[in-house]
Chain A
Amino acid sequence: MLLYTLEQAPHEKKIIQQCLRERLPLPQAIQKAPDLWIGLELFFGAFLDLDGDRPSGWSMRPIPWTSLMNYAEAYNIVDEQREDLFFYVRAMDRAYIKRMDEKAKK
């Protein structure tokens, strides 16, 4: 979902319009676009909110622990939900950094 949102989603509307105009089938990536499961908006939104909080440097660095903790405090995300916040955001962060590193190497 995250990788689709970052890479495909910004161009999706234009691609769909172009396919409709030229009567072409939609690309597989759009036909099989993932859905965000109901209830996971909290973690997905957190990742998007915190993406700009990375320390600057030569390589892409992970979202800091303090940013996640401040976010949880600010929005009263506690207990098990806070653990899940760390789990999901870190999983998205790893996938995002891996993809960006792969792109940079090309």
Chain B
Amino acid sequence: MGLKNQFATDVGLETKGIYIDYGNDRILIARAGGGNKKFARLLETKTKPFRRAIAVGAFDGDRSLAILREVYAEAVVLGWEVNKGTDVEPKWEKGIDPADAGLTGEKLLPVNRENVLKVFANLPDLFLDLQQQAQAGALFRAEMSDASAGN
């Protein structure tokens, strides 16, 4: 197997996204980087006003995290679905469980930037996990998705 097969990622998957399955929820994410240039473009735009602070080491972690969450909400999270069926016969519905966003109610929230940001604020570990998944080149290799599909 050549290096290309081992390391090359599928730009289609990087931009159209892959599902990360959390059991009752599944989230469609694009890659944070690689062929997903929207991510790099947005990150550049949002960090540019702070470049001087970054250069002198005065850019604090909280601000960096807030910007990263915004960029992920806008350029990485492409979809969000909740299983309204069973484990055996799943029935995926587009939307976000209000409880995940720290809200009450039964009706699923629309998948938009504001609601995704609410979930990231309410479940910081979920954001960390999504960050790791979105940066893992291995998940976006065509071979991996072919193999998974055949399994």
Chain A interface residues toward B at CB < 8 A = 37-43, 45, 75-77, 81, 84
A41 touches B55 (CB 8 A): no
Which chain B residues numbered 30 to 52 have a C-beta less than 8 Å away from chain A? 33, 37, 40-41, 43-48, 51
Query: Is A38 a contact of B54 with CB atoms below 8 Å?
Result: yes
**Chain A residues with CB below 8 A from B37, complex form:** 42, 45, 75-77
Contacts of B44 in A (CB 8 A): 39-43, 81, 84
The B3-40 residues at the A interface (CB cut-off 8 A) are 33, 37, 40
Contacting A41 at CB < 8 Å: which of B40, B59, B67? Answer: B40
CB nearest neighbor in B for A38? B47
List B117-145 residues whose CB lies under 8 Å from chain A.
none
- Report the separation of the CA atoms of residues A45 and B43 in the bound assembly, to the nearest whole angstrom: 13
Cβ-defined contact, B43 with A42, below 8 A: yes
Contact A41 B45 (CB under 8 A): no
Would you give the shortest CB distance from A17 to chain B, in whole angstroms? Answer: 19
Q: Which B residues touch A76, using CB under 8 A?
A: 37, 41
